Amino acid sequence: MSERYDIAIVGSGPAGITAAINAKIRNKRIIIFGYENLSNKLYLAPKINNYVGFPGISGKDLTEKFKDHLKEMDIEITYERVDSIYAMGDYYALMVNDKTYEATGIVLATGVSFGKPFKGESEFLGRGVGYCATCDAPLYKNKVVTIIGYNKESIEEANYVSELAAKVYYIPMFKGDVDLNSNIEVINDKPVEIIGDSHVNKLVLKNSEVETDGLFILRDNISPDQLVPGLLVEEGHIKVSRDMETNLKGCYAAGDAVGKPYQYLKSMGEGQVAALNAVSYLDKLSREK
């Protein structure tokens, strides 16, 4: 059986790391999921003028300061993407590739994704379109799979799928090197529309098209209600109370994911409020036992 954490934090941007630091100070057993750069929205910011105490700091330098702080507090980020989270009654189950983690409380700090879904994406979701290639790869043994990858982590997923599928096409949606297995064909083109009948059979790109049995879209963010079934979302943002609690008991949210303005300090303040209220929730539960 997997060990149960007190609080699982999903997302390593300003909101998530602030939640992690505050929960750790309160002696809670935490796990935080995210990426090595913490957040591209932080890492790639050229110059930040409104971060109190560090006028004009670059996103890269601020990321290094955040990493030093995490290291100092012995907080290690688990470099994995959470694919889904299920409310199980008195705890949550977090699905990560082929693993399941358990936590009593959750802080969602997943940020927002600006990309619109592709034409046909919602229609074929679950009918050939998916968001976790490693989870569904066995369904595509000896078949053709196309992967639209928005980050470096998607390369790993593509390599894994290529060990099972007959053919893998990979469409990089980011700049930089792609270190893929030699049997993967890279297509540098812009996806436009997903086509099929009862199931996906084709991806139309701006200048070409590929016939495919499965299509995985591996973005940095999954929409929050897809990530957590039953979560209340309004106009694309997670609905929270003043305590940053969602409609699900013990599940809190913070940062861009809960609404505008999209700013570092607002996200961090909310991350702190979410963590402290998650801690109070846990303490109340243990008093009731």
In the complex, what is the shortest distance from the CB of residue 132 to ligand FAD, in angstroms, rounded to a whole number? 10
Q: How far is the CB of 256 from ligand FAD (least distance, A)?
A: 4
Distance CA 239, CA 233 (A): 5
Nearest to 139 by CA among 219, 213, 217: 213
Sign of CA dihedral 156, 157, 162, 168: negative
Question: Residue 48, Cβ neighbours under 10 Å: how many?
Answer: 16
Looking at beta carbons only, is 33 or 118 nearer to ligand FAD? 33
Min CB(42)–ligand FAD separation in Å: 5
* Among the listed residues 14, 10, 23, 112, the one whose alpha carbon sits nearest the alpha carbon of residue 65: 14
Q: How far is the CB of 222 from ligand FAD (least distance, A)?
A: 6
CB of 286 to ligand FAD, least distance (A): 27
Cα angle 269-246-261, degrees, rounded to a multiple of 5? 40
**Could you tell me the smallest distance in angstroms from the CB atom of residue 134 to ligand FAD?**
13
Closer CB to ligand FAD, 70 or 165, in the complex: 70
Burial of 153 (0-12, 13-18, 19+ CB in 10 A): middle
Question: 153 vs 185, which CB is nearer to ligand FAD?
Answer: 153
> Residue 206 Cβ, how far from ligand FAD at the closest point, in Å?
25
Could you tell me which residues are beta bridge partners of residue 105? 7
Residue 230: CB minimum distance to ligand FAD, A:
16
Q: Is the CB of 166 or the CB of 236 nearer to ligand FAD?
A: 236
Which ranges constitute the DSSP H helices of 13-73? Answer: 14-25, 40-43, 59-72
Tokens matching residue 247? 């409609």
Distance (Å) of CA 71 to CA 17, 27, 68, 77: 11, 16, 5, 10
Q: Are the C-beta atoms of 107 and 275 separated by less than 8 Å?
A: yes
Work out whether strand 92-96 and strand 99-108 pair parallel, antiparallel, or are unpaired: antiparallel
* Closer by beta carbon to ligand FAD, 42 or else 205: 42
Q: Which is nearer to ligand FAD, 107 or 203 (CB)?
A: 107
Q: What angle, 0 to 180 degrees and rounded to 10, lies between the N-to-C axes of helices 59-72 and 14-25?
A: 20
CB-nearer residue toward ligand FAD: 197 or 235: 235
- Where along the sequence are the contacts to ligand FAD (CB under 6 A)? 10-16, 33-35, 39, 41-42, 44-45, 48, 50, 81-82, 109-111, 220-222, 227, 255-257, 262-264, 267
Of 110 and 146, nearer to ligand FAD (C-beta) is: 110
